[in-house]
Structure formats: structure tokens, C-alpha cells
Amino acid sequence: MSQPELLSQDFELGFTYTRSTGPVVGRFLTDLRDRIIVGIKGSDGKVYVPPMEYDPVTAEELSEFVEVGQSGEVVSWCWVKEPRDSHPSAVPFAWALIKLDGADVPMVHVLRASAESEVSTGMRVTARWAEETRGFITDIDGFVAAGDES
């Protein structure tokens, strides 16, 4: 038996999902399109951002939307030194948990900074909006240090 040829090729598997957003996530995304960030109030009085459909304590349906601030505080973060193709940034950035003003829980999003040394827990950040919004989480292009959003 002769030595086999070495065979290899690129192969892409695509899961082309579409998702129904439902009334709660749909409302969140619709408001993002208008450059507004909303959370939802739970039975414990806490404001959850992004809004959740069911109460984490009572499991009741939730419906009391609350607009929250577009600035907040970095609760924790992770610097991505070598972004991959599917990351929302070609240059190094941070994934950050950001507690927006008026919210009681942090939300994960992109934190853009020129260097890891410019990111710290507790820093104030502000949403920077995409030039065109379409009703998607990336309508927030990312968060930047407060004062740098323009």
C-alpha cells in the first residue's frame, strides 16, 4: 500500500438561526434602535438590564420597563489581547460587566480603550452608539471612558 496523499480542505458549517425576540427582548432592541436603554423592574424592586421576561424570584411575567442611564460603572472586565475574526473589534478591547446608572445588575458589553492600562474596575464609562442603529445589541458600538464618547 503506497503512502496516501495528505488531503485537507477548509470547511464551514453554518447555523443560520433566526430568533423570535418576544415582547420583552423585542422592546429592548426596539428602544436600542432609538438609542434608549431599558431594563425591567422585578418583584424585588431591582432593575434588570437587559430586561428579562420572567421574575427571578416569583417566575411571574415581567412588564414594567424602566429607562436607565447610558453611563455606568465597570464591575469587572477581561482584556482581549488578540481579537478573533468573530469579535466585535479588530484591535484589542475588553469584555466588561457594566452596571448602568439606574440598573441593579451589570450587563456585558464591549469596552473600547487604547490600552489595558486604561481600564480599571470602578471606572465610569458611557455608551457610544453605532452610526446606524437597526434594533440589535451592536447598536451600542461599545462603551468608552466617560468623557470620551464623542
Select the span of 20-28, 67-75, 91-99, 100-108 touching another protein (CB under 8 A). 20-28
Determine if 20 is a binding residue for another protein (CB under 8 A).
yes
44, with CB counted inside 10 A (0-12, 13-18, 19+), is exposed
- Least gap, CB of 7 to another protein (angstroms): 4
Determine if 13 is a binding residue for another protein (CB under 8 A).
yes
Contact letters (x/-) for another protein, 98-137, by CB under 8 A? -------------------------------------xx-
- Least gap, CB of 133 to another protein (angstroms): 10
Of the candidate residues 1, 59, 90, 115, the single one contacting another protein (CB under 8 A): 1
The helix (run of H) or strand (run of E) holding residue 23 is helix 22-33
Which residues of 23-145 form beta strands (DSSP E)? 38-41, 47-48, 65-67, 71-80, 93-100, 107-111, 124-129, 140-145
> What pairing do the DSSP bridges indicate for beta strands 124-129 and 140-145?
antiparallel
> What pairing do the DSSP bridges indicate for beta strands 93-100 and 71-80?
antiparallel
Provide the phi-psi class of 139: left if phi over 0, else alpha when psi is between -120 and 50, else beta: alpha
Determine if 8 is a binding residue for another protein (CB under 8 A).
yes
Select the span of 2-10, 41-49, 62-70, 96-104 touching another protein (CB under 8 A). 2-10
- Least gap, CB of 25 to another protein (angstroms): 8
Partnered with residue 95 across adjacent β-strands are 78, 110
List contacts with another protein (CB under 8 A): 1, 4-21, 26-27, 29-30, 33-35, 135-136
